[in-house]
Amino acid sequence: MPRAIYAGSFDPVTNGHLDLIRRGSRLFERLRVLVAVNSRKEPFFSGEDRVAMIRAEVGVLPNVEVDQAEGLVVDYAKREGFDTLLRGVRTTTDFNAEFQMALTNRSLSPDIETVFVMPSLEWSYVSSSLIREVVASGGDVSKYVPGSVVEALAGRR
């Protein structure tokens, strides 16, 4: 079975991300969740905090591990010996961006495949940017993120 990387900013991790991680853990022998750190962006949470939040939620999945890195995900995948990238696609807008990224990744590293997975219906509209917007407006995000993330977000209002 292939080993996959599921990369994203996860700022913050949502129940939709966690759903995809659980499902990916059944599809792949090993799944590494990679917190992509972009030094040009100002995230809500540090890379270390995002890694810790995800680890707290996926600790029961024995074949899932969490790491963080900066740079191209395909370079990381090659360096670490992974052959598949797992990507979630919620909307046609997501698909267009993900399709372009997958073709670019294939051009950069033809041996690494990209697998697209549709979200569960209940999380198909949830995104980290939506969560940050709701939190900034004082809204309740408890049904979209795990309890530990709700607590961490409380200090961000």
Residue 124: exposure state from Cβ atoms within 10 A (0-12, 13-18, ≥19): middle
Q: What is the pLDDT of residues 61-72, one digit of tens each?
A: 999 999 999 999
Q: What is the pLDDT of residues 77-124, one digit of tens each?
A: 999 999 999 999 988 888 999 999 999 999 999 999 999 999 899 999
d(CA 153, CA 44): 9
Overall average pLDDT of the 23-46 stretch: 92
The one catalytic residue in 17, 23, 32, 87 is: 17
Q: Which two tokens stand for residue 49?
A: 């905090």
Overall average pLDDT of the 50-71 stretch: 96
The one catalytic residue in 9, 23, 50, 128 is: 128
The one catalytic residue in 90, 109, 120, 127 is: 90
Domain 3-151 has CATH 3.40.50.2300: no
Question: Does residue 41 have an active-site annotation?
Answer: yes
The answer on pLDDT for 37 being more than 70 is: yes
Question: Does residue 148 have an active-site annotation?
Answer: no
Global confidence as pTM:
0.94
